[in-house]
Amino acid sequence: MKHQFLKAAAASPELKVADPAYNAQKIVEAIAAGAEKGTELLVFPELSLSGYTCGDLFLQKTLLKGCLDGLKTIAESTQGHTMLVFVGLPIAYEDKLYNCAAAISDGKVLALVAKTYFPNHNEFYELRHFSSGKALGCIGAVRLWEGAWASISPNVLIYDEKHPEVKIGCEICEDLWVPASPSIAHCKHGASVIVNLSASNELVGKRDYRHTLIAAHSGKNLCGYVYCGAGVGESVSDMVFSGNSMIYENGACLAEAAPFSGEVCEAEIDVGFLLNERRRKTSYRDCDGPLANAQEEYVQCPANFLSDAEITLRKVDPTPFVPHERGELFDRAQSILDMQAHALARRIAHTHVRHAVLGISGGLDSTLALLVSCRAFDLLGKGREEIIAVSMPGFGTSLKTKNNATALMQALGVTSRNIPISQTVLRHFKDIGHDPEDVGGAYENAQARYRTMVLMDICNEENGLVVGTGDLSELALGWCTYNGDHMSMYAVNSSVPKTLVRHLVLAEAKRLGGRAEIVLKSVLSTEISPELLPPDEGGNIAQKTEDLIGPYELNDFYLYEFLRRGDGPAKTLYLAERAFGEKYPREVLKKWLVAFYKRFFAQQFKRNCVPDGVKVGSVSLSPRSDLRMPSDASAALYVEEAEKL
């Protein structure tokens, strides 16, 4: 279990109805194949030893004995494997028959989980034979074969002895479909992953409903969910089964074996993330469902099923803030732009200002802020000429960004002003005794603060509101001038990371078309820079942000892992190597990871006094709602771990 990733699989092997010996052999083969891949949790379908569609054959002692013989064969095959296996079979206990899942590890049957709920429309083949696990009353013990006994209960949790925080709960088919699923209680008692041995027949539209059901269930219970459906070997007298299986994590589908594909469904579940989510979400801790009372008796079974294998299945997204499907990306971009625009429109309407005022540099962030402002004014029915866009070229302004700023303002039909700041800032240097040849912090920040003063004063003069342009990534790294571009009257980009800004601008370029699209694509091709230092001899941008603070794609990845996933330095670097290994060597990834922690902790004082800004995603740094962090917190713990990697 490398960095708390659990390698899980759902398999629906070839099956013959009422032939436990044959089915056991196929299950043994699947276990062997899983062991070679390093699978730690392997789930088979409901009644996979007998077949789900046996009908009245379930009442035959011969079949029941054959299933126990098959179970013994399967248990013996797991000897020496680091794996937890769930198989389904009928179990006779105290004059009743139970539909059970057997939990097996290292040659032993750990427990039998009895199904609780049955579909009432299927009385003719399930309630006709099986009793609910609720009928057990209390935990019982079943003699399997000579010297082998196993507890039987609907309430079973299997935990790993080396990683006791990893607990596996089990439910069977219809248990998931009822309003108060048994797995709600399992999760409240510590299960981080739920397995479901199912025999859900295939119907038109049912696959989509399974996805909806499991997505919601795993999301609200903050758990992993491994669902294994019965396959095509079942009898087709009145139904057909497809082997549709899927693995979910907190509402997200990690993998699926499509209907009739015959595939094994495999994925790596981030248990560490799930546990972090539970700690973070106080409503999860406070909510006690109808089945989640402390008085319920549980079978707690220790096992050793977790290995130290590398993750091989999980795709690590290098840009977690950005969706990757083209259509989804465009739709997501429009949704975010709508949120930004509606939030700004509400603030403008509430404050009764006439103008939105913002500085336009020709860079990505100010471009996005201007696009959002235009949308907001369109929503309000106000003319775009009431947006005052100000270009303030200074010592580092390049010809390309200056021209882009002018062309953009013209293309969008806003009121443009050009206020050069170099001479005013030079007079300011003289006033404070600063040597203009010293291009340090005062040289840079004086420009940013003067620009902010210009915008604020225009607002006073024109009854306006300064729209902030800074983004989430800059705020995380403190890459802004305190009381300069750090400050505004409403910050529309405050929860938009740099890697997403580019896609929002591109989406709006495609929507607008024409002259605006041409200008926006020119902005997108420009090097990211604050342009506070003079250009090089060729007039090109000399101050390149990513050379100073690291590539934004790395910083955004680190920010996401740190705040959204709750990961520490070791796990973050491990995942970064898998996401960026072909682009950056390990020492570069480590260098910028260390720098990220240092900057993030050192710059909290800036984040503790930021203006209002709209939240559009799951990560935000607002001190009022999303990040409570003292300005004087030490980064030593994180930096020390990162430097030792």
pLDDT of residue 399: 87
- pLDDT tens-digit profile of 78-136? 999 999 999 999 999 998 999 999 999 999 999 999 999 998 755 556 778 899 998 78
What pLDDT does residue 539 have?
64
- CATH code for the domain in which residue 489 is found: 3.40.50.620
Q: What span, in angstroms and rounded, lies between the C-alpha atoms of 201 and 218?
A: 21
Phi, psi of 70 (to 5 degrees): -65, -40
Predicted confidence at residue 547, as pLDDT, reads: 85
At residue 284, the pLDDT reads: 81
- Do 289 and 429 have their domain in common? no
Domain for residue 431, yes or no? Answer: yes
Q: Domain check: are 34 and 66 in the same one? A: yes
pLDDT at 13 over 70: yes
**Helix pair angle (61-77, 20-37), 10° resolution:** 20
Q: Which of 181-185, 287-291, 423-427, 431-435 is predicted least confidently?
A: 287-291
Answer yes or no: do 372 and 263 share one domain: no
pLDDT for res 283 = 84
State the pTM of this model: 0.91
Residue 537 and residue 486 share a domain: yes
> Any idea how long the chain is?
645
Q: At 370, which helix (H) or strand (E)?
A: helix 364-380
Task: Identify whether 150 is part of a domain.
Answer: yes
DSSP annotation of 131 reads B
Of 464, 433, 151, 91, the residue nearest 301 (C-alpha):
151
Which among 115, 167, 400, 571 is annotated as catalytic? 115
pLDDT tens, position by position, 65-89:
999 999 999 999 999 999 999 999 9
Write out the two tokens for 317: 């997204």
Using alpha carbons, list the distances in angstroms from residue 27 to 32, 73, 84, 231: 9, 10, 13, 13
pLDDT surpassing 50 at residue 198: yes
Quick one: pLDDT band at residue 531, thresholds 50, 70, 90? low
Q: How many domains, in total, are found in the chain?
A: 2
Between these two residues, 538 and 31, which has the higher pLDDT value?
A: 31
Q: Specify whether 503 is located in the same domain as 384.
A: yes
Distances (CA, A) of 610 to 313, 344, 367, 570, 604: 41, 16, 20, 31, 10
Do residue 392 and residue 263 come from a single domain? no
> Which alpha helices (DSSP H) does 296-362 contain, by range?
326-351
Coil, helix or strand at residue 41: strand
Mean pLDDT of 154-169: 96
Region of poorest pLDDT, from 23-27, 253-257, 395-399, 467-471: 395-399
pLDDT at 542: 64
Same domain? For 64 and 174 the reply is: yes
Asked whether the beta carbons of 427 and 447 are under 8 A apart, the reply is: no
Which helix (H) or strand (E) covers residue 197, if one does? strand 193-198
Shared domain check, 414 and 290: no
Average pLDDT over residues 437-451: 93
Domain-embedded: residue 311: no
The reported pLDDT for the residue numbered 197 is: 98
- Whether residues 230 and 344 fall in one domain: no
Domain that holds residue 595: 326-644
Query: Does the pLDDT of residue 49 top 70, yes or no?
Result: yes
Other C-beta atoms lying within 10 Å of the C-beta of residue 165:
12
Considering only 9-13, 176-180, 340-344, which range has the smallest mean pLDDT?
A: 176-180
The rounded mean pLDDT for the chain is 93
Average pLDDT over residues 506-526: 93
Question: Is 546 annotated as catalytic?
Answer: no
**CATH code (residue 206):** 3.60.110.10
Confidence bin at 294 (pLDDT 50/70/90): very low
Report the DSSP beta bridge partners of residue 468.
491
Q: Tell whether 312 is covered by a domain.
A: no
In a domain, 141, yes or no: yes
In a domain, 319, yes or no: no
Q: How far is CA 234 from the centre of its chain?
A: 36
Residues 601 and 568 in one domain: yes
Residue 317 lies in a domain: no
Residue appearing with tokens 């797991």: 78
CB 14 within 8 A of CB 47: no
The answer to whether residue 310 is domain-embedded is no
Active-site residue identified among 7, 26, 46, 571: 46
C-alpha 458/C-alpha 358 separation (Å) is: 10
| Closest-CA residue to 458 (of 354, 335, 588) | 354
Residue 415, classified by CB atoms within 10 Å of its CB into exposed (0-12), middle (13-18) or buried (19+), is: middle
Instruction: Check whether 207 has a pLDDT greater than 50.
Output: yes
Q: Which residue has the higher pLDDT, 294 or 34?
A: 34
Q: Is 544 a catalytic residue?
A: no
- Looking at the structure, tell me whether residues 50 and 122 fall in a common domain: yes
Same domain? For 291 and 382 the reply is no
- C-alpha separations of 478 from 91, 447, 601, 602 in Å: 63, 17, 9, 8
pLDDT tens column, 590-640: 999 999 999 999 999 999 999 999 999 999 999 998 899 999 999 999 999
188 an active-site residue? no
Q: In which band, very low, low, confident or very high, does the pLDDT at 293 lie, cut at 50, 70 and 90?
A: very low
Q: Which of 54, 100, 173, 301 is catalytic?
A: 173
